[in-house]
Amino acid sequence: MTTKYESGSVLTGKVTGIQPYGAFVALDEQTQGLVHISEIKHGFVKDINDVLSVGDEVKVKVIQVDEEKGKISLSIKATEEEPVRQQPKKPRRQGTVKAATPEAEAEGFNTLKDKLQEWIEQSQANDLIKK
């Protein structure tokens, strides 16, 4: 492989093969590079076949050239502007829990306790009246 291609170069190539991990792109008659699945497009790509097909012409950017291994890493998404992401909606603010005051703590279930005794007495009085 010659050092014909340099990192940062933007070229047009043709998709020659698709694998689950990426797409092979021919840059010329003798040279191919790999576009890893993470470099196909901005966002998540579950299946490359949903985005690319063999024979597609694509614009790619050379990310890395490994002369020793004879490999060229390419990116399609590096040639495209990243889409503007909409800010997620802020969750509605829930009501706040107020700290218990000493007066509120004094009331709490004690008021039920006091009322319960009153209700029992009323019930017993009603039972006596019915008899």
**Residue 3's pLDDT is what?**
58
> Taking a C-beta distance cutoff of 8 angstroms, is the pair 33, 27 a contact?
yes
**Residue 119's pLDDT is what?**
83
**Residue 55's pLDDT is what?**
94
45 vs 37: CA distance, rounded Å:
7
**Residue 25's pLDDT is what?**
95
Q: What is the mean pLDDT of each run of 10 residues along the chain (131 residues)?
A: 79 94 93 94 91 94 91 92 77 68 59 79 80 63
- Sole residue written with tokens 């218990």: 100
12 vs 17: CA distance, rounded Å:
16
SS3 74: strand
- DSSP state at residue 50: G
SS3 65: strand
- Model's pTM, two decimal places? 0.61
34 vs 50: CA distance, rounded Å:
17
**Residue 103's pLDDT is what?**
61
> Which backbone phi and psi does 56 adopt, to 5 degrees?
-65, 140
**Residue 84's pLDDT is what?**
80
**Residue 101's pLDDT is what?**
63
> Taking a C-beta distance cutoff of 8 angstroms, is the pair 74, 18 a contact?
no
**Residue 74's pLDDT is what?**
95
